[in-house]
Chain A
Amino acid sequence: MEKRKSDVFFMDKLVELNELEIKKSKVLAAIFQKTISEMEKKKIQSLDANFEEQAKFYDQYLEDYEKTYQEMKNRYEEQLSQILEQYQELFVNLYLELQEAECNQKIAITNWKKSYDIKQEILDKANSSMIEEYDRKIQACIQKKQNYDIIIEECEKELEKCATQMEKRVNSLFQDKSSQVFLTEISFLGKIMNKIKNIFTGKSKFNTYVMEPMKVELEMIETKLPDIIENMEQEMVTFVAKIKQAKAETNQIFEQMI
């Protein structure tokens, strides 16, 4: 009776663990998705805000630049989406590896318990070689579970790295435009002077200091991004191969032990 109670408790704990891991994966994905949406929104908002404020500073009508700006903004959004989608793909691939590892670990834990129970049942009836066989199975399952502890930890670390690296990389490539806004509080006289200067040089300055740098930055992003994405793909393939190798070695060790 006591044994049955303990078995039910054990199975309950495994089911509980499984449910927790599912919940965790949903929350982790929601955090990642939220980070992506926030970054995308922030970058586009700062691009718009910077453009509007600079136009105001140089007394330029936004309508005059609407078509050119919209074209640049579309290209900017496209580049931003490309890198974010790549990180999303990386996240999904890493998560699949983690889920598989968690699943394999639970199988190892279940087999560990099963082997122990069978060993207890046959303890008085079976010969010593059969008992030794189950002892080996128990040890092999313990080893498998411990190996998966390391594999799971590696996958979790990589997932964390994916999120932090995404924020760093996107921020360095798509620099926050808000920081470039140089509109500060200027005196009334300063404003008058600025208006007069803008009549003569506003348009050319706006082109030199706003439109041209935006164009250059965009071209730089478009040049750099394919290499960045290629590197990311290579890193992903390398990591997934490393994890698959570790899983294969874990299975090999298990087979050798039993």
Chain B
Amino acid sequence: MESIILDGKMIKLSSLPKEKLKQILDRLNDEEIEIKEEISRILEEQT
């Protein structure tokens, strides 16, 4: 079963419609950008 944990809940991906999956992907992309920016900020501050 392909599932992920989102907001503390386990979600079975195959049960979701494509539009919902796209929304989740957009959200994960935004979160990824934020984390990458944070990591870069920490490293740049130190170097």
A residues adjacent to B (C-beta < 8 A)? 6, 9-10, 13-14, 16-17, 20-21, 23-24, 26-31, 33-35, 38, 109, 112-113, 116, 138, 142
The answer for the CA separation of A20 and B24 in the assembled complex, in Å, is: 11
Known contacts A13-B35, A27-B4, A30-B2, A116 near B46 by CB under 8 Å: yes
Q: Number of contacts between A and B (CB, 8 Å)?
A: 65
The answer for the CA separation of A91 and B44 in the assembled complex, in Å, is: 35
DSSP majority for the A interface?
helix
B4 touching A23 by the CB < 8 A rule? yes
Distance (whole angstroms) from the CB of B4 to the closest CB of chain A: 5
B39 touching A109 by the CB < 8 A rule? yes
DSSP majority for the B interface?
helix
Distance (whole angstroms) from the CB of B9 to the closest CB of chain A: 13
Smallest CB-CB A-B distances: 5 pairs: A30-B13, A23-B4, A24-B28, A27-B25, A31-B21
Q: What are the residues of chain B within 8 A of A35 when measuring CB–CB? A: 18
A13 touching B38 by the CB < 8 A rule? yes
Known contacts A13-B35, A35-B18, A6 near B42 by CB under 8 Å: yes
The contact of A10 among B4, B18, B22, B42, by CB within 8 Å, is B42
A17 touching B25 by the CB < 8 A rule? no
The answer for the CA separation of A16 and B31 in the assembled complex, in Å, is: 10
What are 22 inter-chain pairs, A to B, with CB distance below 8 A? A13-B35, A13-B38, A13-B39, A13-B42, A14-B39, A17-B35, A17-B36, A20-B31, A21-B32, A27-B13, A27-B21, A27-B25, A28-B25, A30-B16, A31-B22, A31-B25, A34-B14, A109-B39, A109-B43, A116-B47, A142-B43, A142-B47
Distance (whole angstroms) from the CB of B10 to the closest CB of chain A: 12
List 12 other contacts, CB 8 Å, given A30-B16, A142-B43, A142-B47: A10-B42, A14-B39, A16-B35, A17-B35, A17-B39, A23-B4, A24-B25, A26-B2, A27-B21, A30-B13, A31-B22, A116-B47
B residues adjacent to A (C-beta < 8 A)? 2-4, 6, 13-14, 16, 18, 21-22, 24-25, 28-29, 31-32, 35-36, 38-39, 42-43, 46-47
B32 touching A20 by the CB < 8 A rule? yes
A24 touching B32 by the CB < 8 A rule? yes
A24 touching B21 by the CB < 8 A rule? no
B47 touching A26 by the CB < 8 A rule? no
Q: What are the residues of chain A within 8 A of B24 when measuring CB–CB? A: 27
The answer for the CA separation of A35 and B21 in the assembled complex, in Å, is: 11
The answer for the CA separation of A35 and B18 in the assembled complex, in Å, is: 8
B14 touching A30 by the CB < 8 A rule? yes
Q: What are the residues of chain A within 8 A of B46 when measuring CB–CB? A: 113, 116
Q: What are the residues of chain A within 8 A of B6 when measuring CB–CB? A: 23
The answer for the CA separation of A13 and B34 in the assembled complex, in Å, is: 10
